[in-house]
Amino acid sequence: MTSSENIIKDLRNDLAQASTEHAIAQVKSKYLGNKSYVSEQLRLLPTLSPDKRVEMGRELNVLKNQIENSITTAREELVAAQQFPVKDISLPGVGFPQAYGHMHPASRVLQETYKIFADLGFAVVDSSEIETDWYNFEALNMPATHPAREMQDTFYIKNNGKLDVLPRTHTSGMQVRFMEANKPPFKIIVPGRVFRNEDEDVTHIWAFHQIEGLVVGEGVSMAQLKGTLLHVVQGILGPEVDIRFRPSYFPYTEPSVELDCRYKGQWLELGGAGMINPIVLKNGGIDPEKYTGFAFGWGAERIAAIKYGLDDLRELWRPRFEFLEQFV
């Protein structure tokens, strides 16, 4: 037999499912309408004996009131929920694209490059973006009047009337700093931001990232320099890529070369390199009779541009999601 308690339980379940005014009305007719249990029992009352009739009548009244109260409460809750919808504050902000972040293409190339060098046993060394004139130029065999300074348009900082500190123009300033503080043999890379007073165009930005490499030891050779660079460039751009050296000039390397890579049928310039000039080794407190070394430096943005086929380096540092989202 259907007891009042079971009916109330079913009613509660039905009301919990009813999320509209219409659905509540349907629940109401199910429990109080003509064909409902309550109505059927009420119709039977006259057939019962007087005692039973009173008892049953009271029970049915209580049940009917409970049903009506539950329905009223459900209606009130529905109205309240419509006026003050419950907000799930853990949901993403309305109006913002529900996208995941991802690494910036320049950072990705840097991370890949660190990994390849680390596998070759290179340490990644931190450095300062502000450098002294001594380490940035002078210790690298570029005295104040040296024309090679012209290659790197410099933002100088006035320091008590002197121009002896500057936002570094290249990461090569770390060469002599590191030599002074460490005994060879060593293999390091120094990634970091450098600054040049450039007119910006599609291949030049006033601040960009370089990766300096420095290897010093006994018998370090030009062949090792080329082998190392080939391995790294192929690791970043693919095994089909070739490299070449073009004769060049840097006061701190002898001989000096420009490093190009052949990518998708084109020779592209990556950076400079060479065998460390003995004068620089001496400035770093290293005996050039005993040790030799090589150094190289290239631009991280340029590698990213080659790898991702960018025709304008400046895009990398513009806050345009349409551009950056291509690199997810």
**Residue 189: closest CA among 126, 238, 134:** 126
Stretch that binds ligand PHE, among 87-95, 201-209, 223-231, 272-280 (CB under 6 A): 272-280
The answer to whether 297 contacts ligand PHE (rule: CB under 6 A) is yes
Stretch that binds ligand PHE, among 13-21, 126-134, 184-192, 270-278 (CB under 6 A): 270-278
The answer to whether 295 contacts ligand PHE (rule: CB under 6 A) is yes
Question: Residues near 260 by Cβ (< 8 Å), separated by ≥ 6?
Answer: 243, 244, 245, 246, 267, 268, 269, 270
- What are the φ/ψ torsions at residue 63 (nearest 5 degrees)? -60, -45
**164 vs 269 by CB, closer to ligand PHE:** 269
Residue pair 157/166 in contact (Cβ under 8 Å)? The answer is yes
List the x/- string, 156-175, binding to ligand PHE by CB under 6 A.
Answer: --------------x-x---
Query: At closest approach, how far in Å is the CB of 243 from ligand PHE?
Result: 15
The answer to whether 154 contacts ligand PHE (rule: CB under 6 A) is no
Question: Residues near 83 by Cβ (< 8 Å), separated by ≥ 6?
Answer: none
**Residue 169: closest CA among 129, 203, 204:** 129
The answer to whether 273 contacts ligand PHE (rule: CB under 6 A) is yes
Residue pair 28/90 in contact (Cβ under 8 Å)? The answer is no
The answer to whether 250 contacts ligand PHE (rule: CB under 6 A) is yes
| Residue from 184, 272, 284, 293 in contact with ligand PHE (CB under 6 A) | 272
Chain residues binding ligand PHE by CB under 6 A are 170, 172, 250, 253, 271-274, 295-297
